[in-house]
Amino acid sequence: MDKSIRVLVVCGGISTEREVSLRSGNAIYKALVSRGFRNAALFDLTGDNIGEIIEMRPDIVFLGLHGKGGEDGTIQGMLDLAGIPYTGPGVACSAVCMNKVFTKRVLRDAGLPTSPFHVMRRDECSDPARVTAVLREKVGFPMVLKSPCQGSSIGVVMAKKEEDVPAALEEVFRYGDHLLAEQFLDGTEVTLPVLGNDEPTALPIIEITSEREFYDYTAKYTSGLCHHIIPARISGEDAAKVSEIGRKAYRVLECRGLSRVDFIIDRQKGPMIIEVNTLPGMTDMSLFPDAARYVGMSYEDLVEKILEYGLEAPGDLA
């Protein structure tokens, strides 16, 4: 690869995941510099400086953003219009995967396993007692209530019993106007990192354990509160299913470059997709780099490979 290309690592952003994105971006930038990309630059996106990306005209943007404004197709659309290549999936895939409701509908229509769910708007939830009755009928307790367009488990609340619903609604609606209620899955949480464009490769399955009630934001980004176990302590049959289902989901959703498919292997239902992350974390505590390291791919190797895939993938408007 030509090490003189102008690579702009864009991170920060305006979402609730800004601090994590800054950590991802800094790690990516340092990896590029260590590999001799002398024209690599780090760009902290704050919202009011987005036009500077177009003015800089980099050869490629390495997206280290997470959450709204970075992982939802908006910056991907701008870069497509400007004719600037970028890493990771395109506009349509990013927009669908950022919205957990849209993701689940696509997966369901494709015949891929995901937890039963029900969606409600804020204006339908003025009466907590009525909402509780609806959710009891449609989903059942225990359940997981989510804000559909957040990442890093922000806006995710467990409701074990009816009395938990009012407080859960208040927390979820802090982050948007929609509520996603999912049937609780009881089992092992694993994730499948997938790397590539037309012929994607599944990296090792990682089992995730948490010192907290579930794998929430605090557990993800606080040392010692979560554990990544590679290879996952699951049966060969379940591992084969996770790999097959994950690769199918990657293709159905038209992911490219990289994405991470998160599962819970339910004790009764088997592997069930929770969500798909199109710009997974790239911090020193992140899952994707851990899986790569297990197969002998250093962090720097991974960054360079993602960059290669970004350069060969056409934009959505190409």
Catalytic residues: 17, 152, 221, 260, 262, 275, 277, 281
Helices (H) and strands (E) in the chain, counts: 11, 13
Reported as type and span, the H/E element at residue 132 is helix 128-138
Dihedral, CA of residue 103, residue 65, residue 313 and residue 259, to nearest 10: -40
Q: Cα dist. 288→46, 259, 263, 294 in Å?
A: 26, 9, 14, 10
Q: Which of 83, 17, 6 is nearest to 25 (CA)?
A: 17
> Which residue has 């989903």 as its token pair?
139
Distance between CA atoms of residues 134 and 124, nearest Å: 11
**Distance between CA atoms of 264 and 274, rounded to whole angstroms?**
7
Query: How far from chain centre, in Å, is Cα 97?
Result: 8
Q: What does the block give as tokens for 75?
A: 């910056």
What distance in Å separates the CA atoms of residue 162 and residue 145, rounded to the nearest whole number?
12
241-252 b/e with 16+ CB inside 10 Å = b? bbbebbbbbbeb
Phi, psi of 115 (to 5 degrees): -65, 140
Q: Is 179 left (phi over 0), alpha (psi -120 to 50) or beta?
A: beta
Tokens 């974390």 -> residue: 281
In angstroms, the Cα distances linking 85 to 89, 124, 247, 255, 278 are 11, 42, 24, 15, 16
